[in-house]
């Protein structure tokens, strides 16, 4: 007999020995374990799909973009006012 079968049999014997008023508590605990198991699978699936969705974010055909990034930021940031969502149009 393998250990899993032995463990199941021992668990059944312990459950049968429990007083009736403890069975409700045991049933609640078993439901919680089922929920926890299902929830963990959902979380694991969500993690892997998230990682797959961002996997290609760093892909680029350009070899060195760090200098270009600095140029872009210099043009985007006003030296006096900082970041701005709207262009200043003095009238």
Model pLDDT, residue 84: 64
Question: Of 15, 45, 52, 49, which is closest to residue 30 (Cα–Cα)?
Answer: 15
Measured CA to CA in angstroms, residue 31 lies from 17, 34, 51, 58, 79 at distances of 20, 5, 31, 43, 61
End-to-end CA distance of the chain: 89
Radius of gyration of the chain (CA): 30
Confidence (pLDDT) at 19: 93
Give the pLDDT confidence score for residue 71 in this predicted structure: 74
Instruction: State both tokens at 64.
Output: 């060195």
Q: What is the pLDDT of residue 18?
A: 92
User: Can you give the pLDDT of all 91 residues of the chain as single tens digits?
Assistant: 688 889 999 999 999 999 999 999 999 999 998 888 887 777 666 666 666 666 666 565 666 656 677 777 777 777 777 766 555 555 4
């Amino acid at each position: 007999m393998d250990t899993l079968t032995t463990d199941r049999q021992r668990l059944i014997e312990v459950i049968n020995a429990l007083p009736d008023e403890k069975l409700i508590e045991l049933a609640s605990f078993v439901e919680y374990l089922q929920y926890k198991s299902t929830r963990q699978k959902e979380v694991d699936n969500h993690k892997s799909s998230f990682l797959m969705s961002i996997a290609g974010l760093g892909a680029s055909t350009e070899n060195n973009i760090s200098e270009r990034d600095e140029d872009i930021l210099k043009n985007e940031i006003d030296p006096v006012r900082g970041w701005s969502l709207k262009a200043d149009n003095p009238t």
